Chain A
Amino acid sequence: MLKSRFFKKVEKFNGNFTQLEEDSRRWEKLYKERWSHDKVVRTTHGVNCTGSCSWNVYVKQGIVTWEHQSTDYPSCGPNMPEFEPRGCPRGASFSWYEYSPLRIKYPYIRERLWKMWEDAKDQFENPIDAWESIVTDPEKTKSYKSVRGHGGLIRVKWDDATELISAMLLYTIKKYGPDRIAGFSPIPAMSMLSYASGARFMSLIGGEMLSFYDWYADLPPASPQVWGEQTDVPESSDWYNSQYLMMWGSNVPLTRTPDAHFMVEARYKGTKVVSISPDYAENVKFADNWLAPNPGSDAALAQGFTHVILNEYYNNQQVPYFTDYVKKFTDLPFVIMLDQSENNEGHVVSGRFLRISDLKETNEANPEWKPMLVDEPTDKLVVPNGTIGQRWDKSEKWNLDLTSEFGREISPKLSFLGEDYKVIDLPNFDNEGNSIYSRTIPCREITLKDGSKKLITTVFDLIMAQYGIKRKKIDVFAAKDYDDADSLFTPAWQEKVTGVRADLVIQIAREFAQNAADTKGKSMIIVGAGINHWFNSDMTYRAIINMLMLTGCIGVQGGGWAHYVGQEKLRPAEGWSNIAFANDWQPGCSRQQQGTSFFYFASDQWKYDELDNEGMKSPVKTIKDGYKHPADYNQMAIRLGWMPSYPQFDRNNLNFVKDYKTNDIKEISKKVVQELKDGSLHFAAEAPDKDINQPKALFVWRSNLFSSSGKGQEYFMKHILGSENGLLAKQSENFKPVDMEWDEKSVTGKLDLAVAFDFRMVTTPLYSDIVLPAATWYEKEDLSSTDMHPFIHPFNKAVDPLWESQSDWQAFKHISKSFSEMAKKYYSEPQYDLKTQPLGHDSMGEISQPYGKIKDWKRGEIEPIPGKTMPSLSLVKRDYTAVYDKYIALGPNAGGKLGSNGYSYSVANEYNELKDIIGTYTDGVDKGYPKLDEDRNVAESILHLSSASNGHVAKKAWENAEEITGKKLADISAGLTEKQMTFANITAQPKEAIPTPIFSSAKHDGDRYSPFSVNIERNVPFRTLTGRQQFYLDHEIFQEYGEELATYKPTLPPHVLGPADTKVEPADKELTLRYLTPHGKWNIHTTYQDNLYMLTLFRGGPTVWLSLDDAKKIDIKDNDWVELYNKNGVVTARAVVSQRMPDGTLYMYHAQDMEIEEPLSTITGNRGGSHNAPTQIHVKPTQMVGGYAQLSYGFNYYGPIGNQRDLYVNVRKLKEVKWHES
């Protein structure tokens, strides 16, 4: 009750306006009780977010209540902002999932399949036979496959699920071979053990792990092309060291939320910030200048910038910092040969690099792999140290000291200006028709070893010619000035293409270059998915990287190329990969398949491909081995050993030893070669629709593959899963590959079993046959690292796995056990698995196909030689009864040599120490081996065996690098030898990774991680053909497509529906718009997009963004339902109308899944798809090149990207919003 206050004296002040009350405040304990908790646990969020933020999870009475970011990162020093707090609203809402109705609590199985399985088990004693009886019956398979995704999952026991899985696996292995089983799980860095679990199981049985970085189109092929490096980027705090920061197609506040502050704060230090984005994106808020190019035209903009840089900093004046840099660290002084033009009499075209083998007969090693330059003082052609030829000639130290092969000092000559001149023909690309343009180029004539004369020029001269820089007083082919809009790549020309004002381009280019000159390279460009997910993204990236190389920014703290797209940096790499790919038991036992080509064939997108490559080729060069159809390039890449291909042959790989009755690999190789030549054996990918060649089982964990990353989702639905779909396209009728078997019949539902392992019910589990309950990130132990920050930190259990969920490691342990036990009973004989392997980067394989010339054994141009002109062959013994035993113990090879990127060093001591740290088995077949049965032991093993987490290993790694390069390097990790990460000490506080040569930073003494600084500061060569950063790529396929140098290529032409595709009744008002899928603000891929907090914070369901004018044209108001379609599929969503959108482009933010608020389509009558429904992939031939220096295969390193940006949709109002069948 209120007490009367009338008679109580109260204190008044503020002129009687305020009065002091003296009531009890005991009630205040209410909110204090709310704030109280029982424990706080350090953990993080995994897999699909590269943030790798350290979080404190609060637990009260055994219930996870909420999470706040931890703020105890090691300091960046007194004069820098700190990393704390790292996190974003998405991560902050994670605890909602713990007890949400979306949570997968138990194992589930598709009811129809379960009934069949129960019946079959009654009939057959052997479960393998039982499985056979189902999958060999077309009616049965159709019955359960056609209802995939339609609900009807029923709860089963774990053991029931693993029994069925094991029967399926053993049947598939026996009948088709283990490589008909695929595993997909992405981005290991942000939960290493969880990735390693299934990968280890797959590796032990012989199934293939599918790559993800290239498939996601997050891999920038430009990085391996230019640097021979998958990707290496500065940690986010290094943005702060920059003095000129461009954000180009990277919406930093939205996609790099935890790190954005470094960019924001750098402005106060005087850093200029420029944003390049077609819409008024979140990051534009922080920019000083905003440039809004037309989507996909970014390469032209970069070329406009480059034109100004070349003219003002290489032609009008020379900046010693720039010229010294490019002479030493790039291929600009290297010499290329000029060939006769096919089109113009007397004109020349650019050819390949001149090698010492072109000049003379020589006994030295690898002469075809030693490109040359002219030494200025002596004016002689020399091979500088550092080329790939020297790399694999182990007799010399391999480094970037400016010496020739005899150790004599040299000074590279950049240009033949003032010598001879020729007119060179160069390609210009345009959707209206490609054309040739001519420029003047300085050159010199030399005599080759056969006595013939040859013109040569330098890469630098070629670039100056390409841009039309006027170097002579009179040059009719050069650009007149910046306003010369008819001369390619001038600022005025780019304005025509990009819409960005020429004078702004001139201003920004000057500022950018002058800043680099003033600060010795502290200009940085942050790039992202906005420009990386395009078909020609490698051209755009190379054009941008050129700007950075010309201004000496690469390898400099605060400067360079900062690519953040699904990137990862699994810092304790060696220990991890050893375990993940079971190298500890059998080195090389794992199959690693290129994801894009796998899905291109498995989802039959190749049969619908309309992309005739003929129109994309260079008009100045033709090559004899070219094709029209992308699939044909893929076949060539497979048979020449450029790319892997699993499923492998149209024969069970376990049958070769049996059929040939020998296990001598030489003998087997001979026969395989013979069979391939005479056509009795084929690569499976040549006929992906044949029963024997299909993938039969797919395990998906840590991923929502069928939605989030299923580019060409409806093709997946139809061909891989056999379910209801919204595909409007029809198989091509006229445009077909020549080297593949074409079956007019459409094959649907290739997979016999889809297994999903997840903690929430989204598209992938909905469409899978078996769904296993996964522990969440707050319920397991694991490790996390990223390239956004330098720390390694853990996942910890805030609570034990809830309901029947298990950690990934325990789940695959469970499956291994069931599998091995069934194998013991029914398939106990060890098998020999014949395995193909492409020519790998950082192995001798990368110097197997000289000069970048295609020699195709299928056309009789060369003999098929395994490991040289075709994939290598090896035998892997598979004992299926021992898979479990191997899974749970760290095998003896983990105590041998580990390494990466060409370095290797012994970890025998560390392996022995591990035995004491985590304990060994005392009996059984694993006796004496360290235990990997518990998650935490796996984590300890990874930390103990890796150079980034164990100072002793780092020391050995640097010593090995010193031995190879002859340079002083070990000081980089000196003083850190005693640094040893353990699970306990990284739980106490995140720890900064130790610098190691398997990454490219020379970071030490409190530096921020800056890539390639070890190359620039320490003269360690780049892992490329020339050993330098490469402007020029001379492989024949690059010549065929005119991509020797970076150049602007238009986006693919608009294509909505082909004449043969399913007709769609046109609506009254309908508009064709560019369809872009940038990363969203309320989700990390599909995670969090279904989370109630995130849905509440923005509109509660699928949305698409469009401009005011576009909306008006089709009568759409904000929040109206719309339907969008093209040949690939249909999506329904609500419209967001906004003036920050440019006309002509529609955004459907990435990864809005189809299980939340997605109505039926009026076009198909089926459920609308996810953001991926209107997508399809286009594979690019240049990205399939292999066996050639840095253009050699590596898992997630090189291969065609699954790009999905060059697409258009028709948009219209959704006539009727219908939810279910009624």
Chain B
Amino acid sequence: MKVKAQISMVLNLDKCIGCHTCSVTCKQTWTNRPGAEYMWFNNVETRPGVGYPKKWEDESHYKGGWKLNRKGKLELRAGNKLNKVALAKIFYNPDMPNLDDYYEPWTYDYQTLFGKESKHQPVARAKSQITGEYMDLTNGPNWDDDLAGSDRSFGEDPNMQNIESDIKGNFERTFMMYLPRLCEHCLNAACVASCPSGAMYKRDEDGIVLVDQERCRGWRFCMTGCPYKKVYFNWNTNKAEKCTFCYPRIEEGLPTVCSETCVGRIRYIGVILYDADRVAEACEEPDDTKLYEAQLGLFLDPNDPEVVEQALADGVDMETIRCAQKSPIYKMAVEQKIAFPLHPEYRTMPMVWYVPPLSPIMNYFEGKNSIKYPEMIFPAINEMRIPVEYLANLLSGGNTEVIKNALYKLAMMRLYMRARTSGKEFDAEKLDRVGLTEDSATSLYRLLAIAKYEDRF
């Protein structure tokens, strides 16, 4: 056992209002400068949708992340270093998004509005920030917001595969959710493994993954390697750049910008202790649907004296261990099992996790008396609009059971709290069925709803 500390984040998608405040505050703070115009360290995607860059989840195209080779061993999907040199990819690497896959950043000829008298009212037109030419806008970092252009987004979202086809184009069966995304600061970061220059590293003390701006040589294999497409190329400095988990703030005890400014109050930050010796083994779990549990198995109980002892021996300081003991991430991911990694099947062991969203009842367009149990004032899980398969494709490598269990838990917590706040009896056995007790349901409620600043960060 080798204990390492990882700073990590949980986003409660059930609370996400899709407002993009996180994206804007992040961009203002970090990437509103030449060379970084198109970069959004943090972005928010409407789902179903194609995301940013376009269809980033299509790894058959982008070749990001890891796969198991015939021997069952981990291998970068884009091939190893030798392969890069052998195929001369080092000079031409086709496996990464081009500018159009992100979008061509633009501005406007605003000054026209102050110009001299003209035949018609002047108007500010879009101009490329790259070429300075007028532009016909066809793509942006959030082009399909709120199901805009849903023809494309429903059809081209890889997670929609194997889902009932009559949802598409059907007003009455519409659903949507939001997915805020940032660098996953993976335990098994494919970007780090891809870097030929050794410029990328995972910090020993907190696991934050960074690109050394002095060592980066601009080969851009990190962009290929990252299956989340969260490493970008600054065309001004010719270096790769990515989300830094706001380490200048984290080091001073402040949460990341995206977390603190999250108006939906959906983000939690905390420390997780994990066994670094077993990462490769966990990543080599052959069954995609078990990768989530394999990753969960790496996390160590910070209250276990043995773990604490080993952690201290491995150089984790006591303050970090105390943080791990209070970590909301541990509570949500390990204790309550309501948070999940994004696309564990990429085998990078991502460390930004998500609570899946509840959604409105679907069957109201169906026959009469659709509410069979009037005391069940909330929709049952199998009546919800967002197909569980969709969530499982996103968050559990297709494992629908674990997603369902999390949704059951959330729904049961609501029922229990409703009974409590309206002074009614509640059958404790119902809680038991979903793995809750009155105490744990209450503490889950407080963590998700009351969610004070100091409980989130």
Contact = CB atoms under 8 A, between A and B. Distances in A.
Interface string A262-275: 00111111111001
B120 interface: yes
Given A21-B198, A271-B418, A1167-B120, A288 B110 contact: no
Interface string A58-96: 000000011111010000001111101111110011010
A85 B255 CA distance: 13
Interface stretch (B56-64, B139-147, B224-232): B139-147
A657 interface: no
Contacts of B336: none
Contacts of B263: 69, 85-88, 257-258, 260-261
Given A280-B147, A1221-B119, A1141 B171 contact: yes
A92 B138 contact: no
A84 B123 contact: no
Given A88-B21, A92-B24, A1140-B174, A35 B249 contact: yes
Contacts, number: 353
B425 interface: no
A503 B445 CA distance: 32
A13 B176 contact: no
B126 A67 contact: no
B198 A268 contact: no
Interface stretch (B27-35, B78-86, B320-328): B27-35
A239 to B, nearest CB: 12
Most buried by B among A93, A151, A271, A507: A151
Contacts of A108: 114
Interface in A1127-1170: 1136-1143, 1154-1160, 1166-1167
Nearest to A16: B280
Interface in B113-168: 113-126, 137-138, 140-143, 145-152, 154, 168
A270 B212 CA distance: 48
A786 interface: no
A30 B213 contact: yes
B126 A66 contact: no
B281 A151 contact: no
Interface stretch (B88-96, B101-109, B304-312, B390-398): B101-109
A71 B114 CA distance: 39
A280 B210 contact: no
Interface string A599-623: 0000000000000000000000000
Contacts of A287: 360
B21 A89 contact: yes
B122 A1119 contact: no
Interface centre among B2, B17, B419 (most CB of A within 10 A): B17
A23 B450 contact: no
A151 B118 contact: yes
A65 B59 CA distance: 38
A323 B377 CA distance: 26
Interface stretch (B289-297, B361-369, B400-408): B361-369
A896 to B, nearest CB: 44
Contact of A1100 (B24, B137, B278): B137
A1219 interface: yes
Interface centre among B120, B178, B419 (most CB of A within 10 A): B120
B450 A67 contact: no
A15 interface: yes
Nearest to A271: B418
Interface in A1177-1207: none
Interface in A272-295: 272, 275, 280, 282, 284-285, 287-290
Contact of B264 (A32, A69, A260): A260
Given A21-B201, A80-B450, A1137-B151, A518 B422 contact: yes
A147 interface: yes
A150 interface: yes
Nearest to B152: A1118
B204 interface: yes
Given A81-B450, A92-B21, A92-B24, A1140 B117 contact: no
Interface stretch (A790-798, A1022-1030, A1088-1096): A1088-1096
A35 B29 contact: yes
B341 to A, nearest CB: 18
A288 B360 contact: yes
Nearest to B143: A1099
Given A89-B20, A287-B360, A268 B413 contact: yes
A572 to B, nearest CB: 26
A31 interface: yes
A136 interface: no
Contacts of B121: 149-151, 724, 766, 1154-1155, 1166-1167
A761 interface: yes
B2 A13 contact: yes
Given A270-B418, A1139-B169, 16 more contacts: A15-B280, A27-B214, A27-B215, A30-B213, A34-B30, A66-B25, A67-B28, A81-B451, A151-B112, A243-B418, A260-B263, A1095-B108, A1097-B141, A1137-B150, A1140-B176, A1156-B124
26 contacts: A13-B276, A28-B247, A31-B244, A34-B29, A82-B452, A101-B110, A151-B117, A152-B116, A260-B263, A264-B14, A280-B171, A285-B17, A285-B178, A285-B357, A504-B364, A507-B371, A766-B122, A1097-B20, A1097-B141, A1097-B142, A1108-B169, A1118-B151, A1139-B150, A1156-B108, A1157-B125, A1220-B118
